[in-house]
Amino acid sequence: MADDHEPVVVFSGSILEADMMKNILGSEQIRAFLKDETLGSLAPFMASAGGSGAVKVVVARRDEARAREIVNDFQAGADAGEITDWEPDDR
C-alpha cells in the first residue's frame, strides 16, 4: 500500500510557473514544495518547462488527485486565456 505522505510530482515548469502553481495549491489548502528550485533560480535557461532541469511542484500522495485536478484546470484556463478569472474554491 502506498504511503499517503509519499512525495509525488504534479507539475514541472520554470521557476516562475512552479512557484505560481505552488501558491495556487496552497490557496486550496494543499501543502506543496518545489524540487530543483535552486537550478531553476540560478540557471533558468536550463530549466525548460517540463524538461530536464525543470522545477517540480511536489505534494503528498494523499493530495495528488485534487492537486492534478487544480493543475489541469489552471492549465486549461491558461490555454484559453482565462487566468485572470481564476479564483480559489471556498472550502
Residues in the chain with pLDDT values less than 70: 1-2, 39-53, 78-91
Class for the domain spanning 7-82: alpha beta
The angle, 0 to 180 degrees and rounded to 10, between the axes of the packed helices 64-79 and 15-27 is 120
Stated pTM of the model:
0.74
Query: What's residue 82's pLDDT?
Result: 56
- β-bridge partners, 8: 59
Query: Which position has the grid cell 486565456?
Result: 81
Q: In the chain, what are the domain boundaries?
A: 7-82
Query: What's residue 91's pLDDT?
Result: 54
Query: What's residue 21's pLDDT?
Result: 95
